[in-house]
Chain A
Amino acid sequence: MSTELKKALFNISALADLGQAITSENAFHEKIQSVFYVITGTFLANRGAILSYDKSAKKLNTLLQKGFDSADLDRVQPDELMSLGKNEPCLIGTDPVLAVSGAEILVPLWVRDEFIGALLLSGKLTVGPYTLEDLELLNVIANQIAIALNNHSLFMDLAEKLEENRRLYEEMRHIYHGTLQAFAAAIDAKDAYTQNHSHRVAKYSAAIARELGWSEHDVEGIYVAGYLHDVGKLAISNDLLNKVTPFTPEERAEIRKHSTTSHNITSKIKFPWKSVEDMVWHHHERLDGRGYPDKLANESLSDGVRILSLADSFDAMTSQRPYRKKMDVPAAIAELKKCLESQFDNKIMLVFCKVLDKEIKGELPEPDILPHLDKTSDLSVISALLGGIIVELSTPKSGV
């Protein structure tokens, strides 16, 4: 085989090496490092550099280089290169501008009308000059590298935009939650006895939903519903809300309108979560159909409604009210248990007990319920009580 043929074969295999390096699944810096080795290996160059053009800063950055002085490379002006032929290798010779970097050969990298960067080479080990054949091969290589660099920069632009969008979304979520909290504070401020009630119901509901295996998106939805469930109370007079003596039937009916008002208000908002307005509307319904406003029963009540209803009642029981003293935690749990099947759902109660038990045992990194409970509670008593209920509710009832 003649030397020319061998050289031609070597060049073809170098192009194959380049293709493999570019299309590999390696990280970008590994790809470009391989590409760089292919070039220096193919031309036996002891000096080489790949520069990429930063459009916004209008300057060339050195991606990789060997043998050059970095300061020399920094002086290469992109404008000077843009007037040269696209992906056409040019012998620098004595060109004063390009000679600065000490390179023998320079290729401006382009993809269509986009200037991407430059490739510099120098110092062939075999000393001989760059041949026409070398320049032709370099032209093919330059086209490939330009595309690879351009793809990477497009990808980086996209990743940057995605990150920016994500940041904006997070900011909006933050603002959104801030607004919700302000709303909840307004609701809770109306009723001196229910301070932070909405906040706690949101926390408790989210904890139960999470334990039930809901997605984080849906957990956020019930958290919002928890915050807004009593927003309808804003339409009730302060005197009535803070009344110490028992309500008259008319007053009770007035108070009971709040869940429908909550629904009317929230249904005006286009939430990114489903069923927020349904959950707030029906948080006073009961399984036996004796709740309000629609006397819905059993299957008509979604899991979300069942969770909110239990969380709301538990917080109501463990909070001081104008007309009654607050219950201690074990008493409230016992009360919830007493109302299972008539008012509260067994499955939700089981999950509530499990999550509270886990919080007491320190199994959850960020407890949502425990921090709000009476600090004087005897946790071992509560844990024993929860343990009993968990066993009882986990055991399938034998059919009759």
Chain B
Amino acid sequence: MKSVQFNVTSRLDGDVAVIYPKGYLNNLSGESLVIECGIYIGKGITKIVVNFSETDLINSIGISMLLQIIEDLRNIKGTICCTNMSKFLRDTFEMLGLIKHMHVFPVESDALKYLKAGKA
């Protein structure tokens, strides 16, 4: 199986940063996800949506990266929403108890609606 080189793109939607990881989140290249979120946090953004539509799989290294983002946001009382997750991703987050530390939505637009409604 050929693994896709992991990369990250993002966009700003109002005061919400939407992050698009792409590829298997399983090695040091996943640090780019933490860095990308860090850049927005550094600019004062406190609401982040991670759209996992292009990332089906994650391993312990990827979990560690995600943990870092959750902590970084927690330190600034921010909110992380995860959307478009595969069953594997959702099951893994649930089993580890990570799900309690994030808001999960089926699709990106739901997360944006939630964040813009100011309920976060």
Contact = CB atoms under 8 A, between A and B. Distances in A.
Interface of A: 3, 6-7, 10, 13-14, 17-18, 21, 26, 30, 33-34, 36-42, 44, 46, 125-126, 128
Contacts of A18: 60
Interface in B90-120: 91-92, 95-98, 100-101
Interface stretch (B5-13, B64-72, B77-85): B64-72
Given A17-B61, A30-B28, A10 B98 contact: no
A14 B60 contact: yes
Given A34-B27, A126-B96, A41 B64 contact: yes
B62 interface: yes
B96 A10 contact: yes
Contacts of B96: 10, 44, 126
Interface of B: prevailing SS: helix
B111 to A, nearest CB: 21
B67 A34 contact: no
Given A10-B92, A34-B27, A40 B64 contact: yes
Interface in B10-53: 26-28
A125 B67 contact: yes
Nearest to A35: B61
B63 interface: yes
B25 to A, nearest CB: 10
Nearest to A5: B95
Given A46-B67, A46-B71, A37 B61 contact: yes
Nearest to B95: A6
Nearest to B101: A125
Nearest to A127: B97
Given A33-B28, A34-B27, 15 more contacts: A6-B92, A10-B96, A13-B59, A13-B60, A17-B60, A17-B61, A30-B28, A34-B28, A37-B28, A37-B60, A38-B60, A41-B59, A41-B62, A41-B64, A46-B71
B95 A38 contact: no
Contacts of A30: 28
Contacts of B62: 41
11 contacts: A17-B60, A26-B28, A38-B61, A39-B60, A40-B64, A41-B59, A41-B63, A44-B96, A44-B98, A126-B97, A126-B98
Contacts of B64: 36-38, 40-41
Which of B26, B27, B60, B65 neighbours the largest number of chain A CB atoms within 10 Å of its CB? B60
A148 B112 CA distance: 45
Contacts of A39: 60
A13 B62 CA distance: 12
Contacts of B61: 17, 21, 34, 37-38, 41
A330 B34 CA distance: 72
Rank and list the top 6 A-B pairs by shortest CB-CB distance, nearest first: A41-B64, A41-B60, A41-B63, A126-B97, A37-B64, A37-B61
Interface centre among B28, B61, B67 (most CB of A within 10 A): B61
Contact of A42 (B27, B28, B60, B70): B60
B100 to A, nearest CB: 8
B12 to A, nearest CB: 27
Contacts of B101: 125
A125 B97 contact: yes
Contacts of A10: 60, 92, 95-96
Contacts of B91: 6
Contact of A17 (B28, B59, B67, B97): B59
Nearest to B30: A37
Contacts of A37: 28, 60-61, 64-65
A10 B95 CA distance: 9
A290 B26 CA distance: 78
Nearest to A67: B71
The CB with the most chain B CB atoms within 10 A, among A30, A40, A44, is that of A44
Nearest to A33: B28
A143 to B, nearest CB: 17
Contacts of A34: 27-28, 61
B85 to A, nearest CB: 15
Nearest to A6: B95
A41 B98 CA distance: 11
Given A13-B60, A14-B59, A40 B67 contact: yes
Nearest to A18: B60
